[in-house]
Amino acid sequence: MPSYQAPLRDFRFVMDEILDYPRHYAQLPQADEVTPDVVSAILEEGARFTREVLLPLNRTGDEQGCRLEGGEVLTPSGFKEAYAQYVEGGWPSLSGDTAYHGQGLPTSLGMMLSEMVCSTNLAWGMYPGLSQGAADALRHHGSDEQKAQYLTKLNDGTWTGSMCLTEPQCGTDLGLIKTRARPDEAGGYLITGTKIFISAGEHDLAENIVHLVLAKLPDAPEGTKGISLFVVPKYLPDAEGEAGERNAVSCGALEHKMGIHGNATCVMNFDGARGYLVGEPHKGLACMFTMMNVARIGVGIQGLGLMEVSFQNALAYARDRLQMRALSGAREADKPADPIISHPDVRRMLLTQKAFAEGGRMLVLYAAQLADSVECATDAAEREAAETELGLLTPIVKAFLTEVGFEATNEGVQVFGGHGYIREWGMEQYVRDARITRLYEGTTGIQALDLLGRKVLMSQGEALKPFTKQIHKFCKAHEANDAMAEFVMPLAKLNVEWGDLTMAVGMKAMQDREEVGAASVDYLMYSGYVTLAFFWARAAQAAHQALASNPDDAAFYRAKLETARFYYQRLLPRTRAHAEMIRAGSETLMAMQAEDFGLGFAI
Ligand SMILES: Cc1cc2nc3c(=O)[nH]c(=O)nc-3n(C[C@H](O)[C@H](O)[C@H](O)COP(=O)(O)OP(=O)(O)OC[C@H]3O[C@@H](n4cnc5c(N)ncnc54)[C@H](O)[C@@H]3O)c2cc1C
């Protein structure tokens, strides 16, 4: 069975030596509660809970999957007990609103815990994960009555949430939704329709499930402008606010799928289920975006968590497994062969995993600070700036970290050779689990359109500027430092090219809109590589600084420096290919008619 140690040393490095979390937390309204000691205690306890409680259930959850019996979904053995411990430990309320039984701690702390949960048991983690987004959507858009009814229960974990968007004919294009909501005499609505692929739509972990459902009112305009959001509980709250009468919502079937077997992916039938409008009529998509944005960052963290655990296990195996001698002569002459970590290609794979996981952690913890500011900044300008930057980085966190997450978990299998492909070692599960992260919460293609089309080009490039300015400032500050030249020079060049490529696509798009779609995924990947290069340069600079003071754990900092070098020399050159492909434009993609692609061949 795979093992896992939460990367607490690396958390500390990123928090203390790169992103200055102590100062960040000291500026928040919760400053008194997030002292360094409290943060350490939470992270250590989170590490213990995830390793001792969740990790042992990961394999059994994968093997048993969920079962649908008499309309009830039974989760794999141990999941329910683990959830009870999670609730008892107060984890669901960590960053919840204090007015509704939340602990009010910063969002960023929840994100750190989330990485550990995703490393140890992604399928289990999706049950409480969706509650967080549901609570956020209700907190921002719900009426006072809805907040009182649902937030306390979601925050204390007695109820969980689900997000019901997808229908058979409608995935990416929510304008095609058929689920209907018609007003009933009691002042609510009756919801009728079928939703598919609903994660945690039904399960046995909690007393009640709060579904947030997109549906159309009778007078709804066509397309995405006519979508409204409803809260539809599995059990209607009674006069005391407890789970009361059963609502007409049920799970019709469970999907059989490639990975995350322990999480119930449900077909949900709403048969005139009682629902309540959240926010204004026809404005539901904007409300749902509150939930989706939280969930998108959450999915990026899933990619991160999986690469970290895959790396840890691949590393342990590579140190242990003996095969062949090193090309330059025996490394461990007393043994029949050298450990495979002696071979350059195995090192390439391990370093790829390490560079993406540790680079991803810096990016996520940076985004987490922005999320704290969006949530708590008292200064309106500061909050708006944080919101814009987080908006820019969200598709990168979601899509880049899941694309490289899938690559990194795949490399984890490769390090194990044939032993990675068989089930015994658990490495293939990470690849299967990671595969979904590139799809749900908006595919990579859709995230890429969001980044290039909606965020960057629609703002005439303005949304990109604050981030590229930061990179420019960093490069300027370190340009005279010879030790940093290997990072600063390429980074400064790429930063300029990022702007040039944006401009080039923007110009072409004025003639032909297809240019945006043709460039978008390469643009997203390019942006992801440059973003991580910025954080690796910062890590290198922090490592240089620490090494100059002769720290006790010099090996940690030397490894940081070498990983930064690996990233710059062996991963960052991928930007060349992406830049070429961005420049190649849409012509070859759009030249053929759909019927000429080949399916029409006579046999
Ligand atoms: C395990 C699992 C769990 C899920 N959980 C949930 C959940 O909890 N709640 C929920 O509501 N949904 C959930 N989903 C649904 C998921 O979000 C959708 O599958 C996803 O959004 C893609 O929609 P689709 O499958 O209909 O693909 P489609 O929208 O049909 O897309 C097919 C392909 O076409 C591409 N494409 C589509 N439109 C465009 C475009 N304009 N430009 C470029 N490319 C385009 C896509 O990128 C994709 O590659 C889940 C799905 C799975 C498999």
Per residue in 57-97, pLDDT (tens digit) is: 999 999 999 999 999 999 999 999 999 999 999 999 999 99
The DSSP symbol for 512 reads: -
Q: Give the residue carrying structure tokens 């066509």.
A: 222
In a domain, 82, yes or no: no
pLDDT value of position 378: 84
Residue 532 binned pLDDT confidence (cut-offs 50, 70, 90): very high
- pLDDT for the residue numbered 598: 82
Q: Is the pLDDT of residue 307 over 90?
A: yes
User: Apex CA 144: angle with CA 143 and CA 149, to 5°?
Assistant: 95
510: in domain: yes
Closest CA to 230 of 242, 213, 245, 216: 213
Q: Which amino acid is present at 324?
A: M
- Asked whether the predicted pLDDT for residue 374 surpasses 70, the reply is yes
Partnered with residue 163 across adjacent β-strands are 212
- CA-closest residue to ligand 1 atom 25: 171
C-beta 166 within 6 A of ligand 1: yes
- Name the pLDDT band for 576 (thresholds 50, 70, 90): very high
* Mean of pLDDT values over 433-458: 97
Whether 90 is in a domain gets the answer no
Comparing 336-345, 501-510, 591-600, which segment has the lowest mean pLDDT? 591-600
* Number of independent structural domains in the chain: 1
- Which among 131, 288, 439 is the best mutation to test ligand 1's pocket, defined by most ligand atoms within 8 Å of the CB? 439
Q: Is the pLDDT of residue 603 over 60?
A: no
* Cα 195 to Cα 178: distance, rounded to the nearest angstrom: 10
172, 265, 402, 513, best to mutate for ligand 1 pocket (most atoms within 8 Å of CB): 172
173 Cα: distance to centroid of ligand 1 (angstroms): 9
Cβ–ligand 1 distance for 165 under 6 Å, the answer: yes
How many angstroms is it from 450 CA to the middle of ligand 1?
14
Query: Rounded mean pLDDT of 465-491?
Result: 98
Q: Say if residues 403 and 529 touch (Cβ distance below 8 Å).
A: no
Task: Answer yes or no: is 482 within a domain.
Answer: yes
Tell me: the pLDDT tens digits for 406-416?
999 999 999 99
pLDDT in tens, 132-162: 889 999 999 999 999 999 999 999 999 999 9
Cβ of 199 less than 6 Å from ligand 1: yes
Q: What is the mean pLDDT of residues 374-393?
A: 92
Give the Å distance between the CA of 267 and the centre of ligand 1: 15
Q: How far is the CA of 197 from the centre of ligand 1 (A)?
A: 9
Give the position, in ligand 1's atom list, of the atom nearest the Cα of 173: 29
Answer whether residue 234 shows pLDDT above 90: yes
Res. 14 pLDDT band, cuts 50 70 90: very high
CA 290 to chain CA centroid, nearest Å? 15
**Contact by Cβ (8 Å): 571, 352:** yes
Q: 62, 160, 166, 179: which to mutate for ligand 1, most atoms within 8 A of CB?
A: 166
**Ligand 1, atom nearest to 257 Cα:** 1
Token pair listed for 541? 């600079």
Residue 364 CA to residue 300 CA, distance in Å, equals 8
Nearest residue (by CA) to ligand 1, atom 4, is: 197
Report the pLDDT averaged over residues 433-440: 98
- Residue 442 CA to ligand 1 center (angstroms) comes to 6
State pTM to two decimals.
Answer: 0.97
- With 0-12 CB in 10 A as exposed, 13-18 as middle and 19+ as buried, what is 402? buried
- Model pLDDT, residue 318: 98
Mean pLDDT of the 48-60 span: 98
Q: Is 175 in the pocket of ligand 1 (CB under 6 A)?
A: no
Counting from 1 in the atom list of ligand 1, the atom nearest the Cα of 520 is 43
**pLDDT at residue 367, rounded to an integer:** 96
Residue 487 is assigned to a structural domain of this protein = yes
Average pLDDT (257-280) is 98
Distance, in Å, from the CA atom of 341 to the CA atom of 347, rounded to the nearest integer, reads 6
Q: Which atom of ligand 1 is nearest to 163's Cα?
A: 9
**Atom of ligand 1 at shortest distance to CA of 443?**
47
**For residue 441, how far is its CA from the centre of ligand 1 (angstroms)?**
7
Atom 38 (ligand 1) nearest CA? 172
**pLDDT tens profile 348-370:** 999 999 999 999 999 999 999 99
Q: Is the CB of 171 under 6 A from ligand 1?
A: yes
Instruction: Supply the residue whose CA is at minimum distance from atom 12 of ligand 1.
Output: 166
Marked catalytic residue, from 411, 441, 486, 587? 441
Q: What is the pLDDT of residue 526?
A: 98
Which atom number of ligand 1 is nearest to the Cα of residue 195? 11
- pLDDT given for residue 601 in this prediction: 57
Residue 524 lies in a domain: yes
Question: Would residue 33 show up in a list of annotated catalytic residues for this protein?
Answer: no
288 in any annotated domain: no
Pocket perturbation via mutation, ligand 1, pick of 292, 443, 590 by most ligand atoms within 8 A of CB: 443
Tell me, what amino acid is at 221? P
Q: How far apart are CA 267 and CA 442, in angstroms?
A: 19
Say what the pLDDT of residue 103 is. Answer: 94
Structural domain harbouring 485: 448-588
Please give the Cα distance from 157 to 323 (Å, whole number).
Answer: 49
pLDDT exceeding 90 applies to what percent of the chain?
93
The DSSP call for residue 567 is I
- Does residue 258 fall inside a structural domain? no
